[in-house]
Amino acid sequence: MTATLNLATAPGHQVLATAGKKILRPGGKKATEQLFAWTNFQPGETVLELAASFGESAIAIAKRFDVSVIGVEKNPDSVTKARENIKAAGLSERITIIEGDIFQLDKITDKFDYVLAEAILTMQSDIGKAKILGAIKNHLKPGGKFLSHEMVVRRNESQVHQSLSQTIRVNANPLTLTEWSTVCKKAGLTIQQQQTGEMGLLNLGQMVRDEGLFGTVKIIGNILNNSHLRQRVLQMRRSFHQQRNNIGYIVFTSSVVSH
Ligand SMILES: C[S@@+](CC[C@H](N)C(=O)[O-])C[C@H]1O[C@@H](n2cnc3c(N)ncnc32)[C@H](O)[C@@H]1O
């Protein structure tokens, strides 16, 4: 177990996880479903998931499409929780969670039909994004696809970067549509399908869709009962609201550029 979280300084996703939020991506389950709809997973195919968190997406695809998943997650508490969730879903044979760093994907020698990464590239520097995308490309089988769910910025990039970094307390560095396409291209990946939409992580409607009514009530109760938690969550919510016309989610599929 990690040390007790300092809610004043912890990254936004850890704050939201402490509040009880399970789905920690900008477009929520709806956007993830769009990725799955484009993908046409076949039974027995393999998926590498980066930053698998509590195993939510890994469980969804293993259960519904009969694929095998290897998830990489750095936070030991999230790894424990993911393994518990996977066991409870009866999917231990199909999903393995590795406690590890996505900057060290060279430790994984297998290649996969798909690499899935949600809400992890946005918080990396330009160099970090390039490094991870290069490693993703190297872990795809011929014909394999990278499935991405991140944050997009539409305008006022420096204002967005400053506001999000202050409130999420990570290097939130969303890219424009063109920039996502360019970083992918530089890593040898070409975007095939894409969709953008509203940044709904802390919108009530998306929360109910993602966490269920009971889950949402529980999260709101936790936030109301803890002033430190409340302060951080409201700060993030305010920032997302202020920047609502400037930011959104993006989902895209991409494949290795063929020469
Ligand atoms: C914003 S959450 C997204 C979680 C999940 N993919 C989702 O969409 O709900 C980011 C996750 O990335 C994990 N993470 C951050 N840096 C990492 C790294 N270098 N290697 C592996 N996991 C990392 C965090 O522990 C956290 O679980």
Residue 124 has pLDDT above 90, yes or no: yes
Give me the mean pLDDT over the 117-141 stretch: 97
Among the atoms of ligand 1, which is closest to the Cα of residue 101?
A: 20
Q: Give me the pLDDT at residue 169, please.
A: 87
**205-223 confidence digits (pLDDT tens):** 999 999 999 999 999 999 9
**Separation of CA 71 and ligand 1 centre (Å):** 10
pTM: 0.95
**Separation of CA 42 and ligand 1 centre (Å):** 26
Dihedral (CA of 214, 81, 89, 150) sign: positive
Give me the mean pLDDT over the 71-97 stretch: 98
Q: Give me the pLDDT at residue 229, please.
A: 95
Give me the mean pLDDT over the 234-258 stretch: 95
Residue 151 has pLDDT above 90, yes or no: yes
Q: Give me the pLDDT at residue 3, please.
A: 60
Contact between 149 and 174 (Cβ < 8 Å): no
Give me the mean pLDDT over the 108-128 stretch: 97
**Separation of CA 158 and ligand 1 centre (Å):** 24
DSSP string, 143-210: EEEEEEEEEEE-S-HHHHHHHHHHHH-S----B-HHHHHHHHHHTTEEEEEEEEEE--TT-HHHHHHH
**Separation of CA 52 and ligand 1 centre (Å):** 6
Residue 5 has pLDDT above 90, yes or no: no
Structural domains in the chain plus CATH codes: 2-248 (3.40.50.150)
**Separation of CA 259 and ligand 1 centre (Å):** 33
Give kind and range of the element (H or E) at residue 243: none
Q: Whose C-alpha lies nearest to ligand 1, atom 9?
A: 24
Q: Whose C-alpha lies nearest to ligand 1, atom 20?
A: 101
**Separation of CA 1 and ligand 1 centre (Å):** 17
Using 50, 70 and 90 to split pLDDT, how confident is the model at 102? very high
Among the atoms of ligand 1, which is closest to the Cα of residue 78?
A: 27
Q: Give me the pLDDT at residue 1, please.
A: 47
Q: Give me the pLDDT at residue 138, please.
A: 97
**Separation of CA 248 and ligand 1 centre (Å):** 19
Residues with CB under 6 A from ligand 1: 13, 23-25, 51, 53, 56, 72-75, 78, 101-103, 118-120
Give me the mean pLDDT over the 1-21 stretch: 86
Give me the mean pLDDT over the 130-140 stretch: 98
Residue 259 has pLDDT above 70, yes or no: no
Q: Whose C-alpha lies nearest to ligand 1, atom 4?
A: 53
Among the atoms of ligand 1, which is closest to the Cα of residue 56?
A: 9
